[in-house]
Structure 1
Amino acid sequence: MVYLIKIFLIFLLAISLNSCNLTSEKSQNQTLAIIVNQADPLSVKIGHYYRQKHHIPKRLLIEVKFAPHRSVLSPQEFQKIQAQVQSRTPANIQSYALTWARPYRVGCMSITSAFALGFDATYCAKGCTPTKPNPYFHSHSSQPYTDFGIRTTMAIAATNFEQAKQLIDRGVASDATYPQGTAYLMDTTDKARNVRAALYNNIKENLGKRLPIKVIKANSLTNQSDVLFYFTGLANIPNLETNRFVSGAIGDHLTSFGGQLTDSRQMSSLRWLEAGATGSYGTVVEPCNFPQKFPHPGLVMYYYLHGDTLINAYWKSVAWVGQGLFIGEPLARPFGRSSL
């Protein structure tokens, strides 16, 4: 409860700082590098398509090579790969886009957090304990590497090229469209996974003038055609495929293993992207139900609506990020440079 009060005060502070500058001096396609695994033909194909669609310079496509089709990399193997990536990364690069669904984990960390923060066991947890905090949490900066020494990372995750292509195309199509849609905040019957519901009414009060927000006491959303945000807490989400997501939409479910993309006993976060969302999130090892280890819906909505890219808005919303995996189209930016 102390955490919920503290995080709400942080959220109110964010709302009050409408004058903050979120605009980077360099265009986004010059400050993101794409990492492809040459041993994985799908990764290579996704990387080249993404570079083409965003007109990213060829020098910002970084090739590495390691055995694909594994869920987990050891910290030792990862550190060798990361050293290669870092040696080829220009100093101005602020973010990375990975182009695979597997591996999704490095030791006890998610692979997106490992690339962003370096492998560091203090970002992990044994049992239900806190972890080292995310230095980019609730930041007004659009230059995470320049200002904090981390390169925010997101995986353009898919199990086939058509799914990846559709995801990328949705993100590109959404840019600066200022889409009309609704935020659905689900208050479920799953007491352990429903901990974010305590934030919902305050989020509605503070952001309700910016977009329609519906707090719904139900375990699923069905047959809605305007889904812009969808946040819930369940191990498996019924009826997800019956809804239509607006291009650029974000959706995630608070559960233990949503970030185990290809072999989870719960619903994989990939299901959100396959249903039409443009970004999602899940944890790769048991996080317990700390809200700090999952996106704060109010903060991700606020920064996204303010004009941040999907990758930066999502990263700013998770206080303890080491166990969490970000997936989607990193450069999606439906609300332009500033919309508040």
Structure 2
Amino acid sequence: MRAVFPFSAIVGQDEMKQALLIAAVDPTIGGVLVFGDRGTGKSTAVRSLAALLPGMAVVTGCPYNCAPGAEAGLCNQCRDAEPGSAPHGTKPVPVVDMPLGATEDRVVGALDLERALARGEKAFEPGLLARANRGFLYIDEVNLLEDHLVDLLIDVAASGENVVEREGLSVRHPARFVLVGSGNPEEGELRPQLLDRFGLSVEVRTPDDIALRIAIVRRRDAYDRDPTGFVASFGGDDAECRDRIEAGRELLPHVNVPDAVLEDAAKLCMKLGTDGLRAELTLLRAARALAALDGDTDVARTHLLRIAPSALRHRLRRDPLDEAGSTTRVARAVEEQFGA
């Protein structure tokens, strides 16, 4: 199996890397949408991050990656088992690819109705959502996904549970994952209902700096010629990044959000005219995770402003009288509100 390109070796695309690190520290933020040009490292970054993360404890043989000793988020079999009786081990954090042509049964899982009727047993073949539980579900060209699969993902993302019902039979299992979608906006837009489910949205562009382009090509060429040696050369940098994520996860529950920062978040969202309160909540959680990554116990305005474009650009209403893009509109609102 070929070694995964190191996360710390990715050149540029700092906003994308920041968003993925924040999602790794606090998966409840709601996933990351990465839109932009082809060949800019979108899928590479997702797989690199997952390979970077420490292994997760799982109940041995559980198809849903249930955590041993957990009191919530368990499948029926793990919930009914005697506490501490199930064997457990560790496995890499899963990154599950969801192809555009996937059938609904492949995504949610399939019930064997014939076996159920003949033997009175619930025969269920877990799908992609089961494999992605406690990991990452990656969808390339997410803007081209079929509508019925979009509706399905919206339901699961909201509930954290996958429910499969066929002919009066019902199976449910935990399905909490970091949803990462990527695509090229020139090929079509994403439905607003799914767009709003992504906590963070990032725009990536082909670099226009000659030195940066050369650095990217040089590293990719070095990796292709000697993957093992290249990965080893970045082992120390990846270890530092892994330690930073683990420290951020431990610090996250203890990070304080001052009232002044919360007021800043509300003022910014009001100025941009975002609908509902999801924008403020996501902005708050992302700023808290960013502070934890930085090792800070208090969220500052600087944390808020650093993450504001990623948290807000995809939540803006269309303004036919304003030809500026969403990123420009967020930057303009930040400048007008805070002079930053």
TM-score normalised over the length of structure 2:
0.29
More helix by share: 2
Higher relative contact order (CA 8 A, sep 6+): 2
